Amino acid sequence: MASHCPRCAFHFNRVPGHWLGSWFLNVLVTQGVVVLILVVVGAATWPDVPVMAMTIGAGAAAVFVPLAFFPFARTIWVAIELAMRPLELDEGVAPGFELERDIASLRAEATTAGRDRGDATGR
């Protein structure tokens, strides 16, 4: 996985231990799939439950689901972490055009306010 976003230079690994959350998501989804396989197959075939087939299927899911879900877990975790701890200005992320437009409008507003204040005090 790239360490930075190629477009805005957002650094994905923002704090030490950042990826523990994505590991948690991956384990959560994998365990969910394994339990789903066991419950659905067990309920569908009750009372003659194919224990060996269920064991092989659940074991295969326990190996392949985390591998397949790994990039999604990281991406989802980056989004969750960004929602929990919004970007700081000093993180070096290129703001893009929206912020430049906002800054221009703020500067125009400040210039207008300064001129108005100057008029009001008679300077």
Q: Which is nearer to Zn ion, 18 or 62 (CB)?
A: 18
Compute the distance between CA of residue 5 and CA of residue 88 in angstroms, rounded to an integer: 16
Sign of CA dihedral 103, 107, 112, 116: positive
123 lies in the site for Zn ion, by CB under 5 A: no
Compute the distance between CA of residue 104 and CA of residue 49 in angstroms, rounded to an integer: 69
Q: Which is nearer to Zn ion, 91 or 109 (CB)?
A: 91
Closest separation between CB of residue 89 and Zn ion, Å? 16
By rule CB under 5 A, what string of x and - marks binding of each residue 2-21 to Zn ion?
---x-xx-x-----------
User: Quick one: which of 26, 28, 5 has its CA closest to 82?
Assistant: 5
Give contact residues for Zn ion (rule: CB under 5 A). Answer: 5, 7-8, 10
